[in-house]
Amino acid sequence: MKQSLMEKFKKELLEISYLGSAVAVLHWDQEVNMPEKGNDLRAKIIGNLVGELHDKFTSSNFEKLLLELNKKFDAGKLNDEDSCIVRETWREFSREKKLPLNFVKDLAETTSKAQMIWSQARVKNDFKLFLPELKKIVELKRKEAKLIGYKGSPYNALLDTYEPYMGVEEIEMIFSELKDFLIPFLAKIKKSKVKINSSILKGNFPIEKQIEFNKSVAGKLGFDFGSGRLDKSTHPFSIGFNPQDVRITTRYKKDDLLYSVNSTIHETGHALYEQGIPTEGFGTPLGESISLGIHESQSRMWENILGKSEIFWQYFYPKLQKEFPGQFGKIKFEHFYQAINTVKSSLIRTEADEVTYNLHIILRFEIEKDLIEGSIAVEDLPQIWNDKFREYFGIKVPSDAMGALQDVHWSGGMIGYFPTYTLGNLYSAQFYETAKRDILNLEKEIKKGHFEHLLNWLRKNIHIHGKLFSAEELVEKVTGEKLTSKYFIDYLEKKYSEIYKLK
Amino acid sequence: MKQSLMEKFKKELLEISYLGSAVAVLHWDQEVNMPEKGNDLRAKIIGNLVGELHDKFTSSNFEKLLLELNKKFDAGKLNDEDSCIVRETWREFSREKKLPLNFVKDLAETTSKAQMIWSQARVKNDFKLFLPELKKIVELKRKEAKLIGYKGSPYNALLDTYEPYMGVEEIEMIFSELKDFLIPFLAKIKKSKVKINSSILKGNFPIEKQIEFNKSVAGKLGFDFGSGRLDKSTHPFSIGFNPQDVRITTRYKKDDLLYSVNSTIHETGHALYEQGIPTEGFGTPLGESISLGIHESQSRMWENILGKSEIFWQYFYPKLQKEFPGQFGKIKFEHFYQAINTVKSSLIRTEADEVTYNLHIILRFEIEKDLIEGSIAVEDLPQIWNDKFREYFGIKVPSDAMGALQDVHWSGGMIGYFPTYTLGNLYSAQFYETAKRDILNLEKEIKKGHFEHLLNWLRKNIHIHGKLFSAEELVEKVTGEKLTSKYFIDYLEKKYSEIYKLK
Q: Measured between CB atoms, which of B35, B225, B229 is closest to A225?
A: B35
Task: Collect all residues of chain A within an 8 Å Cβ-Cβ radius of residue B18.
Answer: 44-45, 48-49
B245 with A36: Cβ contact below 8 A: no
A38 contacts in chain B (CB < 8 Å): 227, 241-242, 244-245
| CA dist., res. B335 & res. B107, Å (int) | 49
Pick from A476, A466, A474, A463: which is nearest to A84 by CA? A466
A-chain CB neighbours of B25 within 8 Å are 25-26, 29, 45
Mean pLDDT across A387-403: 97
| Among A303, A298, A304, A243, CA closest to A274 | A243
Query: Nearest by CB to B22, which of A26, A227, A244?
Result: A26
Whole-complex ipTM: 0.91
Contact list in B for residue A249 (CB cut-off 8 A) is none
pLDDT band at A503 (very low <50, low <70, confident <90, very high): confident
Whether residue B126 is predicted with pLDDT greater than 60 in this model: the reply is yes
Q: From the candidates A14, A27, A36, A37, which should be mutated to test the interface with B, based on the most B CB atoms within 10 A?
A: A37
**Distance from the B46 Cα atom to the nearest Cα atom in chain A, whole angstroms:** 8
The neighbouring-strand residues paired with B242 are: B245
Mean pLDDT of B356-370: 98
Q: What angle do CA B274, B279, B284 make, to 5 degrees?
A: 90
pLDDT of res. A313: 98
Interface with chain B: mutation pick from A11, A14, A29, highest number of B CBs within 10 Å = A29
3-state helix, strand, coil in chain A (%, to 5): 70, 5, 25
**β-pair type (A245-250, A238-242):** antiparallel
Quick one: closest CA in B to A40, which residue? B244
- Assigned domain for B246 exists: no
User: Is B40 in Cβ contact with A244 (below 8 Å)?
Assistant: yes
How many CA atoms are closer than 13 Å to the CA of B449, on its beta-carbon side? 10
Residue in chain B nearest A279 by alpha carbon: B41
Number of domains into which chain A is organized: 1
Mean residue pLDDT of chain A comes to 96
Helix ranges restricted to H, B277-353:
292-300, 310-323, 325-328, 333-339
So what's the pLDDT on residue B7? 95
Tell me the pLDDT band of A3, cut-offs 50, 70 and 90: low
Answer yes or no: is B111 within a domain: yes
Choose the closest CB to B35 out of A33, A52, A228. A228
Distance, CA of A208 to CA of A219 (rounded, Å)? 17
Task: Give the type of residue at A46.
Answer: I
**Contacts of range B345-350, beta carbons closer than 8 Å, 24 or more positions apart:** B345/B186, B345/B190, B345/B393, B345/B394, B345/B395, B347/B395, B347/B397, B347/B398, B347/B402, B347/B403, B347/B406, B348/B402, B348/B406, B349/B406, B349/B407
**Angstrom distance (rounded) from CA B336 to CA B329:** 11
Q: Phi/psi of residue A239, each to 5°?
A: -150, 130
Name the H helices within A301-411: 310-323, 325-328, 333-339, 354-373, 381-393
pLDDT in tens, A379-394: 999 999 999 999 999 9
Quickly list DSSP for A6-53: HHHHHHHHHHHHHHHHHHHHHHHHHHHT--GGGHHHHHHHHHHHHHHH
Least Cα separation, residue B18 to chain A (angstroms) = 5
Question: Residue B440: exposed, middle, or buried by beta-carbon count in 10 A (0-12, 13-18, 19+)?
Answer: exposed
Calculate mean pLDDT across residues B384-394.
97
Contacts of A23 (CB under 8 A, 6+ apart): A46, A49, A50, A53
Q: Which residues pair with A253 in a beta bridge?
A: A256
A283 chain-B contacts, CB cut-off 8 A? none
Residues of B in contact with A22 (CB under 8 A): 22, 26, 45, 48-49
For A200, counting Cβ atoms within 10 Å of its Cβ (0-12 exposed, 13-18 middle, 19+ buried), the class is middle
CB nearest to A35's CB, from B37, B42, B226: B226
Average pLDDT over residues A258-267: 97
Residues of A known to be catalytic: 267
Q: CB–CB of B303/B432 below 8 Å?
A: no
Quick one: pLDDT band at residue B3, thresholds 50, 70, 90?
low
Does residue A227 form part of some domain? no
Q: Chain A residue closest to B282 (CA)?
A: A41
pLDDT at B425 over 50: yes
Residues of B in contact with A33 (CB under 8 A): 33, 229
Cβ distance B226 to A37 less than 8 Å, yes or no, reads: yes
Which residue from B44, B88, B43, B48 is spatially nearest to B66, judged by alpha carbons? Answer: B88
Q: Nearest 5°: phi and psi at A238?
A: -130, 150
In the DSSP assignment, the letter for residue A431 is H
What's at A336, amino acid-wise? F
Q: B354: distance to nearest CA of chain A, Å?
A: 34
Can you give the pLDDT at residue A1? 47
Out of B34, B48, B282, whose CB is closest to A18? B48
Question: Taking CB atoms and an 8 Å cutoff, what residues of chain B touch A208?
Answer: none
What residues in B contact A225, CB-CB < 8 Å?
35
Asked if residue A269 lies in contact with residue A300, where contact means CB atoms within 8 angstroms, the answer is yes
Nearest to A276 by CA among A456, A105, A441, A432: A456
**pTM recorded for the entire structure:** 0.92
- The C-alpha of B35 sits at a distance from chain A's nearest C-alpha, in angstroms, of 5
- Mean pLDDT for B381-396 is 97
Q: Which residue of B has its CA nearest to A18?
A: B45
**A31, A32, A39, A45: which to substitute to probe chain B, counting the most B Cβ within 10 Å?**
A45
Given a contact cutoff of 8 angstroms between Cβ atoms, the answer to whether A431 and A462 are in contact is: yes
The confidence score (pLDDT) of residue A4 equals: 84
Angstroms from B402 CA to nearest CA on chain A: 33
Say how many Å lie between the first and final Cα of chain B, rounded.
Answer: 68
Enclosing domain of residue B85: 2-162
Q: Span A141-169, mean pLDDT? A: 97
| Structural domain contains residue A131 | yes
Q: Residue A405 pLDDT > 70, yes or no?
A: yes
Residue B16 located in a structural domain: yes
Determine, for residues B45 and A21 on separate chains, whether the beta-carbon distance falls below 8 Å: yes
Pick from A297, A287, A283, A291: which is nearest to A466 by CA?
A: A287
A243: nearest CA partner in chain B: B38
Identify which has the larger pLDDT, B309 or A1: B309
Cα–Cα distance list, B197 to A479, B162, B205, B340, B341 (Å): 74, 38, 19, 10, 11
Chains A, B: CB contacts under 8 A, how many? 97
Q: Is the dihedral of CA A172, A177, A180, A184 positive or negative?
A: negative
End-to-end, the C-alpha distance of chain A in Å comes to 68
Which chain A residues touch B49 with a CB distance below 8 Å? Answer: 18-19, 22
What value does the mean pLDDT take over residues B206-229?
Answer: 97
Q: Is the pLDDT of residue B1 over 60?
A: no
Task: Compute φ and ψ for B256, nearest 5 degrees.
Answer: -145, 95
Q: Do B29 and A34 touch (CB under 8 A)?
A: no
Complete edge-to-edge strand list for the sheet that includes strand B228-232: B228-232, B245-250, B238-242
Which residues of chain B are at the A interface, by a Cβ-Cβ cutoff of 8 Å?
A: 15, 18-19, 21-22, 25-26, 29, 33-38, 40-42, 44-45, 48-49, 52, 224-229, 241-242, 244-245, 279, 282
Which residues of chain B make contact with A280, given a CB cutoff of 8 A?
none
Contact B420, B162 (CB under 8 A): yes
Q: What is the pLDDT of residues B397-420, one digit of tens each?
A: 999 999 999 999 999 999 999 999
Chain B: nearest CA to A366, how far in angstroms? Answer: 42
**What b/e readout covers A143-170, taking b as 16+ CB neighbours within 10 angstroms?**
ebbeebebeebbbbbbbbbbbbebbbee
Indicate whether B132 belongs to any domain.
yes
Which chain A residue lies closest to B56 (C-alpha atoms)? A52
Which among A22, A37, A229 is the nearest to B244, CB-wise?
A37
**Nearest beta carbon to residue B29 from set A29, A228, A244:** A29
- Identity of residue A296: E
Are B18 and A227 within 8 A, CB to CB?
no
Amino acid at B336: F
Q: At what angle do helices B2-32 and A39-57 cross, to 10 degrees?
A: 100
CA pair distance A337, A196, nearest whole angstrom: 10
Count of CB atoms situated within 10 Å of the CB of A141: 24
Residue B62 within a domain: yes
CA distance B49 to chain A (A): 7
Give the minimum alpha-carbon distance from B408 to chain A in angstroms, rounded to a whole number: 27
Q: Say if residues B40 and A281 touch (Cβ distance below 8 Å).
A: no
Q: Is residue A114 in a domain?
A: yes
- The partner residue sitting opposite B18, judged by closest CB among A40, A45, A229, is A45
Axis-axis angle for helices A419-438, A168-191 (nearest 10) = 80
pLDDT digits (tens, 9 = 90+) for A215-244: 999 999 999 999 999 999 988 999 999 999
Measure B231 CA to nearest chain A CA, in Å: 10
Segment holding B228, helix H or strand E: strand B228-232
Cα–Cα distance for residue pair A60/B100, rounded to 1 Å: 29
Quick one: pLDDT band at residue A411, thresholds 50, 70, 90? very high
